[in-house]
């Protein structure tokens, strides 16, 4: 008697990272950005990620007032890569003005919750939620923001 064994091989596609940053590369970007702080006590490296429905930038903030904002159509995911600060979420933006369609900015937030953030923390801010990164004297913070469509 002859036995025939048929083997079906199923192969799943191998997914490889298209955008990858090591901890050392993130530290180098943070150092580079800290030397370029300008308006709103911030330096921004845009274009890190740019795909349909989401994008990514890296931000470094130094002590100073900064600004509060609301995005009508975008949720933000912050990945803190270095430093410490506080973040206010919720409440009401004081001095709110539309900076572009669906984008509101102001000087500060009244009410809401304030939390400390630092390296390794992740913050999710749904579309429509006021938020403000607060960097006190002697502090600085660097974080990657992934902006995702709220749809």
Task: Name the residue range of residue 77's domain.
Answer: 23-149
Q: Is residue 117 part of a domain?
A: yes
On average, the pLDDT of the chain sits at: 88
Question: Residue 103: which CATH number?
Answer: 2.60.120.10
| Residues found in the chain | 151
Q: Is residue 74 part of a domain?
A: yes
Between strands 97-100 and 103-106, the pairing is antiparallel
Q: Is residue 136 part of a domain?
A: yes
* Cα 151 from chain centre: 18
For the stretch 104-135, pLDDT in tens is: 999 999 999 999 999 999 999 999 999 999 99
Place 50 in a pLDDT band, splitting at 50, 70 and 90.
confident
Count up the domains in the chain and report the number: 1
What is the predicted pLDDT for the residue at 79?
A: 97
Cβ-contact 117, 106 below 8 angstroms: no
Beta strands in the chain (DSSP E): 42-51, 54-61, 68-71, 74-89, 92-94, 97-100, 103-106, 108-110, 113-118, 122-125, 131-134, 141-149
For the stretch 61-96, pLDDT in tens is: 999 988 999 999 999 999 999 999 999 999 999 999
DSSP structural state of residue 40: G
Q: Is residue 139 part of a domain?
A: yes
pLDDT top residue among 116 and 31: 116
Q: Is residue 17 part of a domain?
A: no
Cβ-contact 138, 84 below 8 angstroms: no
């Amino acid at each position: 008697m002859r036995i025939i064994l048929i083997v079906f091989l199923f192969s799943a596609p191998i997914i490889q990272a298209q955008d990858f940053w090591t901890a050392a590369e993130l530290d180098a970007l943070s150092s580079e950005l800290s030397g370029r702080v300008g308006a709103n006590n911030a330096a921004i490296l845009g274009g890190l990620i740019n795909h349909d429905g989401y994008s990514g930038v890296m931000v470094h903030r130094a002590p100073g007032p900064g600004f509060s904002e609301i995005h009508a159509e975008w949720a933000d995911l912050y990945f803190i890569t270095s430093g410490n600060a506080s973040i206010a979420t919720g409440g009401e933006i004081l001095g709110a003005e539309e900076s572009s369609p669906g984008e509101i900015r102001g000087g500060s937030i009244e009410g809401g919750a304030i939390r400390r953030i630092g390296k390794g923390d992740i913050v999710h801010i749904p579309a429509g939620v006021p938020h403000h990164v607060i960097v006190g004297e002697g502090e600085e913070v660097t974080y990657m923001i992934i902006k995702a469509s709220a749809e």
